[in-house]
Structures are given as structure tokens and as C-alpha cells.
């Protein structure tokens, strides 16, 4: 039986500080049995970052094709696990307003992180321009040096991989001009299959093994769950450099060709 104190200790042993911005991907059943269920996990995590901010993804995964048609910030559920959906419905938790890749947050910087998700400068990509835009929670967490922990799931489920994919592509676009820039943009697939055929995807588990070999991953245990932690301030620059310099090692074929083609114009 996993208790609240076990979770608190395990996260502190990972190196999580009370002042951290902490993003958690999770599987409740991976613990085994938790005394108090999802609510206990959430209360434990709030205690760990009692002077910081707890963030969880609240992604739209089911009925994906209708994501932009029936979005409701207050009622559309999080489709990425019971812990995230319980957190979404908890008192004092705020949610960002974006149809596919919203987050929920509680704590010191919750309002700042969740505000304005679908505003400002966007980034071209398969999830729509605002999912990982310049005013998104994903950008803000990167700038704030957040930490990411996976409970009982590996980095296959690492949402930040999409941030890196789109940041890399859009940094290339920002370095282009004229007809070449317009052509590069037109080739990128947008939500609903508008635009071109190119989307950017890479294997999160392969990234986990790569970063572990570099010593950039910390592992822990709580109950039966494996805990996996990385620091965003390290992860993003390392992986963007890899996607840019070695696209065929990481990206799907169309994405790799796009990067290799347009980086030559920089």
C-alpha cells in the first residue's frame, strides 16, 4: 500500500525542490495500490512543491477530429489518465485555454503558466499554431526551467517532444525569407490536414535512452512505479540540437527531409 508520505519522500529523493515548477505525467495503476487513490497522489505532489507550482497535461486524445469543434475549457476532460482528470476538477486548479494541448496548474505561478495559451505568436505544426506557441504553457515552463517527472510511464508519453519538434521547425522558418519561407510553411501539415503533408515526430523512448546514457535522467521508485525525471533547461537545447544536426537519426522521414532541406538556406 503506497501512502502519501511514500510519494513525498520518493519525489524529494528525485531532487524535486519545494520551489520547483513540476510537470507530471502519470499512471495511477503503476503504483500498485495507493491509499486514497488519485487524490492522495495530488495532495502529495502539492506538498512536495508547496512553494512552487504543480502542472499536469490535460490533453485531448479521444475524438481528436472534433477537438476544435466542441472544446470547452471547463468540461472537456483530460484524456491522459485519472490523476490528471482528478487534478483538473480539483479546487483552485487553473486550466489553459487550448483545444489539444492544454495544461492544468496549481500553486505560485499557475495563473501565469495557464494564461493566454491561444494568444500571441504561434508556431506552425500539426496541432495548430497555438498548441506550442510562444505564449503557451510549454514555452513558459521551458523558460522557467521546470522539471518533468513520469510516474509509471516512459518518455514515449513526453509531451515536450512536440514542443521541441515545433520549436526546431519554427526557428528554421524564422531564419528564412521570401518565397523559400512561404514554401517551407506551406509544406507543414496543420491540424485537420490543411497545408502540406509534413509533420514532425520522433521516438520519445529512444530519446530517454539517449539522455540516460548522457546522465541527464534521474530514476526513482515509489511502490511498483518507476519514476523518471529530467530538467527542461537541459532537455530542450540538447534535443533541438540533435533534431537540427541529425534529423534522419530522430525524425520521421518527411520531417527529416524538411529539416535537411531548409536548414541549408540559413
Q: Residue 88 belongs to what domain range?
A: 4-159+203-231
Query: What domain count does the chain have?
Result: 1
Query: Has residue 102 been placed in a domain?
Result: yes
Query: Has residue 124 been placed in a domain?
Result: yes
- Mean per-residue pLDDT for 2-13? 98
Per the CB < 8 A criterion, the answer to whether 124 and 167 are in contact is no
Whole-number Å distance between alpha carbons of 19 and 32: 29
pTM metric for this prediction: 0.97
Q: What are phi and psi of 174, to 5 degrees?
A: -65, -20
Query: Has residue 120 been placed in a domain?
Result: yes
Whole-number Å distance between alpha carbons of 250 and 149: 22
Per the CB < 8 A criterion, the answer to whether 173 and 181 are in contact is yes
**pLDDT one-digit tens code per residue, 109-161:** 999 999 999 999 999 999 999 999 999 999 999 999 999 999 999 999 999 99
Query: Has residue 182 been placed in a domain?
Result: no
Q: Which residues contact 194 (CB under 8 A, 6 or more apart)?
A: none
Coil/strand/helix, residue 54: strand
What pLDDT is stored for residue 224 in this prediction? 98
Whole-number Å distance between alpha carbons of 130 and 112: 16
Query: Has residue 257 been placed in a domain?
Result: no
Query: Has residue 187 been placed in a domain?
Result: no
Whole-number Å distance between alpha carbons of 174 and 151: 36
Judging by beta carbons within 10 Å of its beta carbon (0-12, 13-18, 19+), is residue 123 exposed, middle or buried? buried
Query: Has residue 191 been placed in a domain?
Result: no
Q: How many residues does the chain have?
A: 266
Q: What are phi and psi of 228, to 5 degrees?
A: -130, 125
Whole-number Å distance between alpha carbons of 125 and 127: 6
- Mean per-residue pLDDT for 174-186? 98
**pLDDT one-digit tens code per residue, 200-243:** 999 999 999 999 999 999 999 999 999 999 999 999 999 999 99
Per the CB < 8 A criterion, the answer to whether 200 and 252 are in contact is yes
Amino acid at each position: 500500500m503506497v501512502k502519501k508520505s511514500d510519494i513525498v519522500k520518493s519525489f524529494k529523493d528525485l531532487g524535486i525542490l519545494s520551489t520547483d515548477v513540476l510537470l507530471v505525467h502519470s499512471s495511477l495503476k503503476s503504483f500498485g495500490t495507493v491509499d486514497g487513490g488519485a487524490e492522495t497522489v495530488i495532495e502529495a505532489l502539492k506538498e512536495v512543491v508547496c512553494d512552487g507550482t504543480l502542472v499536469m497535461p490535460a490533453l485531448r486524445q479521444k475524438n481528436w477530429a472534433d477537438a476544435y469543434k466542441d472544446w470547452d475549457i471547463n468540461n472537456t476532460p483530460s484524456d491522459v489518465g485519472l490523476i490528471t482528470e482528478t487534478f483538473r476538477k480539483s479546487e483552485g486548479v487553473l486550466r489553459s485555454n487550448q483545444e489539444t494541448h492544454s495544461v492544468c496548474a496549481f500553486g505560485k505561478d499557475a495563473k501565469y503558466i495557464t494564461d493566454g495559451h491561444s494568444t500571441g505568436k504561434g508556431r506552425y505544426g500539426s496541432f495548430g499554431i497555438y498548441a506550442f506557441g510562444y505564449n503557451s504553457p510549454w514555452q513558459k515552463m521551458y523558460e522557467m526551467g521546470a522539471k518533468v517527472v513520469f510516474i509509471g510511464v516512459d518518455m514515449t508519453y513526453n509531451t515536450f517532444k512536440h514542443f521541441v519538434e515545433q520549436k526546431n521547425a519554427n526557428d528554421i522558418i524564422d531564419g528564412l525569407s521570401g518565397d523559400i519561407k512561404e514554401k517551407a510553411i506551406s509544406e507543414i501539415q496543420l491540424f485537420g490536414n490543411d497545408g502540406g503533408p509534413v509533420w514532425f515526430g520522433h521516438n520519445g523512448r529512444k530519446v530517454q535512452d539517449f539522455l540516460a546514457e548522457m546522465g541527464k535522467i534521474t530514476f526513482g521508485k515509489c511502490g511498483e512505479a518507476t519514476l523518471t525525471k529530467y530538467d527542461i533547461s537541459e532537455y530542450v537545447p540538447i534535443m533541438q540540437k540533435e533534431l537540427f544536426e541529425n534529423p534522419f537519426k530522430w525524425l520521421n522521414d518527411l520531417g527529416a527531409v524538411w529539416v535537411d532541406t531548409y536548414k541549408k538556406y540559413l
